[in-house]
């Protein structure tokens, strides 16, 4: 689905490379400044590696945990067409998680380490998935807003400086674009439906609007990693720039289908050529980052259960691989 670097308040500042060979560091920085991709076997500063492992693994976790709120509705989709769309979308998210775990593994971390960090609560994932999906309209709101915000974050990542991450994003972005469209189309249908359906669509927009704005991460002045990440071209736009872009694109989409964005401070600013909008509730954001989201515990229980239930598959795959390796040795 998405991610930006979630480590805001209270986190250590990006480690700056001090003890590293200045010649190697200068060569690395020159390559990055020249918009060259850095590849797995290239030399890179330790802090760059760490930042990427954190960001890519958070992104992977977000894709995987992001399957849960929507997966919850697959058996209750109102018709075959909607069910097929939702199934395809949730499967795409699983695929995104797997590309991203693979991209992170090229930096020297293992899948097991990343999964363990997620289950033990040490790793973060997007706060948005700790909110519940209460009605069918939430499926529309998620596609439209959450995947819409994801695209805003991920399009610039196609040009991020780490090659495997950038290449994974190319396919991910194509799929996210389908996710956003199906969500908006669902909302459009609901907004043009019965009074009850329209009310449901408006209610979903009311509940998902602010958490969607939180997806861009803390405000720039509270985002200690942004400066270093921009210099290393891991990030190409700041959190606030992306948030503004999202608001400017999404507000007219809401108006076009007769829904109201739940922000009394929202107003077109002629001078800036952009919308002014209200303040995000950052206290809520930090609480959810800390794991206090409405369904955070349920999400981790569901992931842990899926992991435990899958143990026999991993064991069988390992036994099969061992058997094949032994047969190959015997044949040589």
**Which residues are at the interface with Fe ion (CB under 5 A)?**
1, 63, 93, 96, 147, 176, 179
Q: How far is the CB of 2 from Fe ion (least distance, A)?
A: 7
Q: Is the dihedral of CA 11, 13, 15, 18 positive or negative?
A: negative
In the complex, minimum distance from the CB of residue 69 to Fe ion, in angstroms, rounded to a whole number: 12
Cβ proximity to Fe ion, 97 vs 224, nearer residue: 97
Q: Which is nearer to Fe ion, 25 or 74 (CB)?
A: 74
Shortest distance, position 145 Cβ to Fe ion, whole Å? 11
Residue with smaller CB distance to Fe ion, 57 or 228:
57
Smallest gap, in angstroms, from Cβ of residue 23 to Fe ion? 39
Q: Which of 237, 229, 239, 231 is nearest to 51 (CA)?
A: 229
Closest CB to Fe ion among residues 147, 263: 147
Phi, psi (degrees; rounded to nearest 5) at 124: -100, 160
Q: How far is the CB of 330 from Fe ion (least distance, A)?
A: 43
Least distance in Å: CB of 315 to Fe ion? 29
- Quick one: 45 or 97, whose CB is closer to Fe ion? 97
């Amino acid at each position: 689905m998405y991610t930006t670097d979630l480590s805001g308040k209270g986190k250590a500042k990006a480690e700056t490379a001090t003890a590293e060979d200045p010649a190697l560091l200068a060569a690395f920085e020159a390559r990055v400044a020249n918009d060259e991709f850095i590849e797995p076997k290239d030399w890179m500063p330790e802090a760059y590696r760490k930042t990427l492992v954190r960001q890519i693994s958070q992104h992977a976790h977000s894709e995987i945990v992001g399957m849960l709120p929507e997966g919850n509705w697959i058996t209750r989709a109102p018709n075959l067409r909607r069910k097929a769309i939702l199934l395809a979308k949730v499967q795409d998210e699983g695929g995104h998680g797997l590309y991203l775990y693979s991209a992170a593994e090229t930096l020297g971390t293992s899948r097991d380490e990343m999964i363990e960090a997620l289950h033990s609560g040490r790793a973060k994932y997007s706060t948005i998935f700790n909110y519940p999906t209460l009605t069918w309209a939430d499926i529309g709101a998620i596609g439209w807003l959450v995947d819409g915000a994801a695209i805003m974050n991920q399009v610039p990542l196609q040009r991020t400086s780490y090659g495997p991450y950038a290449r994974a994003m190319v396919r991910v972005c194509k799929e996210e674009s389908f996710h956003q469209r199906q969500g908006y189309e669902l909302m459009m249908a609901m907004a043009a439906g019965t009074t009850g359906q329209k009310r449901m669509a408006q209610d979903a927009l009311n509940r998902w609007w602010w958490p969607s704005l939180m997806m861009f991460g803390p405000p720039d002045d509270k985002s200690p990693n942004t400066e270093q990440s921009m210099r290393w071209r891991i990030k190409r736009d700041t959190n606030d720039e992306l948030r503004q872009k999202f608001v400017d694109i999404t507000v007219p989409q809401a108006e076009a289908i007769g829904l109201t964005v739940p922000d009394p401070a929202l107003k077109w600013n002629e001078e800036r050529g952009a919308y002014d909008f209200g303040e995000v509730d950052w206290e809520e954001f930090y609480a959810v980052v800390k794991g206090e989201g409405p369904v955070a515990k349920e999400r981790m229980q569901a992931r842990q259960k899926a992991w435990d239930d899958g143990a026999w598959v991993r064991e069988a795959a390992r036994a099969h691989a061992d058997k094949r390796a032994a047969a190959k040795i015997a044949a040589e």
